[in-house]
Structure 1
Amino acid sequence: MLRVVLAEDAVLLRAGLVELLTRVGHEVTAAVGDAEELARAVDTDRPDVVITDVRMPPGFRDEGLRAALDLRGRYPDLPVLVLSQYVATAYATDLLSGGSTTAAGLGYLLKDRVGDVTDFLDALDRVAGGQTVIDPEVVRVLLQQRTAGEPLRRLTPREREVLALMAEGFNNQAIAQRLTITEASVVKHSSNIFMKLELDPAEGNRRVLAVLAHLRREQLP
């Protein structure tokens, strides 16, 4: 069971998430509608994980994300899962940059992912367990836009598959399971990717951040 603080201004979605989380055995200690209430709830309840929308009142810009970053600054071990209505790679990178030196989990998912209950709950568990989770649609858009560019075109099709899963936050073991290959093969492909893209072969959040930063750079005209 996880103790969850939820911040979502859309009343129906907030109620639906509370019902879902409660049904699977988690405790929602607070369900709030703006960033200020989120901060107060975390200070009071000290939850196991926070779920927050990016855009929150009063400005409906990135108040939820900024609140999450502020909370991570005050509680470095606090896992945070951020939900977004749109593909916005800058938000994902900001989130990871703000917490890449800690071991606590971080996640950035599109709200559409909530509709796939299994994927959403898996992502929540992974974040609460200290892993990094990036929505596959964010990664897909970046790769689709730049697969013909340098140096991504130097990657083999298999290396692109490994890169996509790496950017989503999966470790070598999980990548091997999803691609039905050995973990040794994943290590070999990863080494080739790091070499071709000149990336830091660090583990965890720093590895994901390096991949996202590279993909964003390649996205620029």
Structure 2
Amino acid sequence: MRIVVADDSFLLREGLQLLLAEAGHDVVASVADGPAFVAAMREHRPDVGIVDVRMPPSHTDEGLRAAVDVRREWPAARLMVLSQYVEVSYAEELLAAGEGGVGYLLKDRVSDLDDFLAGLSAVAQGGTALDPLVVRQLMARRPDPLAGLTPREREVLALMAEGRSNTAIAAAMVVTPGAVEKHTQRIFAKLGLLAGDDAAHRRVLAVVRYLRAAGG
């Protein structure tokens, strides 16, 4: 994959570049602030951009706002946001835009390199990779409006929003993959996602609707 990395910490940028290069990926740009990230994404059109939430000058949410700016200009951009905390307001806007291809992970998760690389790959392919804490905080903002889904179906959709495969969802719920597949088909039907559409596309749309509903 061709990747743009944005983080104001030189050591973290260098560390990410080294890890990504060892995994066979090509870091085409490495920048230290939000405007430079937007410019690099515009210039290189990478497979995925990785951006830290806290960037100069205020070190609050400049990186996340830059990611939102990229997505507005290029809705198909694939973005992986890294943070030490969850910034809900901009997260809602970022996750609700486009058709997938978004990740939002707390930095603690990056230490598990295999999971991080798997999440990055999923985002580059148009999927989602969301930290469970991100999902919980988004859903905690308002009562769940997806009243048509059963508690079991909502549980499946929440795990789906974390970027898990049907096999991983089955393991987490201690059920068979076939049971998860039945739940996903019922979820798609209740959300009005037509059976004729591509299954992966329906999965992304289901997650986007779930997160948009969470944000109102």
Indicate whether the TM-score tops 0.5: yes
Offset from partner CA, 1:33-85 (integer Å, 9 cap, x none): 10111122223322221001122212333322222222223333321111121
Q: Give the whole-Å Cα distance in 2 for the aligned partners of 1:23 and 1:70.
A: 30
Separation (CA, whole Å) in 2 of partners of 1:23 and 1:116: 15
* Counterpart for residue 125 of structure 1: 121
- Structure 1 CA distance, aligned partners of 2:145 and 2:205? 22
* 8 A contact 2:88–2:137 mirrored in 1: no
Partner of 1:166: 160
SS at 2:97 equivalent = helix
Change (3 A) 1:125 1:213: same
Aligned residues: 207
The one-character-per-residue Cα deviations of 1:93-124 (angstroms, maximum 9, x if unpaired) are 21122223xxx611111111111111111111
Structure 2 Cα separation of the partners of residues 26 and 194 of structure 1: 34
Letter in 1 for 2:64: L
SS in structure 2 of the partner of residue 169 of structure 1: coil
Q: CA deviation at 1:160?
A: 5.7
Q: Which runs of 4+ in 1 moved over 6 A?
A: 148-152, 191-195
Q: Which amino acid aligns with 1:162?
A: V
1:118 counterpart letter in structure 2: D
Q: Which residue of 1 aligns with 2:130?
A: 134
Q: CA RMSD for the aligned pairs? A: 3.2
Aligned residue among 93, 111, 115 for 2:107: 111
Counterparts of 1:20-39 in structure 2 under 5 Å?
20-39=19-38
- Name stretches of at least 5 consecutive residues in structure 1 with no aligned partner: none
Q: Distance in 2 between matches of 1:78 and 1:160?
A: 28
Q: 1:182 to 1:112 in 2, by over 3 A?
A: same
Q: Is the 8 A contact 1:79 1:106 kept in 2?
A: yes
AA of the residue aligned to 1:165: L
Q: What amino acid does structure 2 have at the position aligned with 1:129?
A: Q
Q: CA–CA distance in 2 between the matches of 1:30 and 1:149?
A: 40
How far 1:4 moved relative to its partner? 0.8
Partner SS, residue 99 of structure 1: coil
TM-score, normalised relative to structure 2: 0.77
CA distance in 2, matches of 1:151, 1:74: 30
The structure-2 alpha-carbon separation of the partners of 1:180 and 1:48, relative to structure 1 and needing over 3 Å to count, comes to same
Aligned to 2:18: 19
Correspondence for 2:95: 96
Q: Equivalent pairs: percent with the same residue?
A: 48
TM-score, length-scaled by structure 1: 0.75
Structure 2 match to 1:189: 183
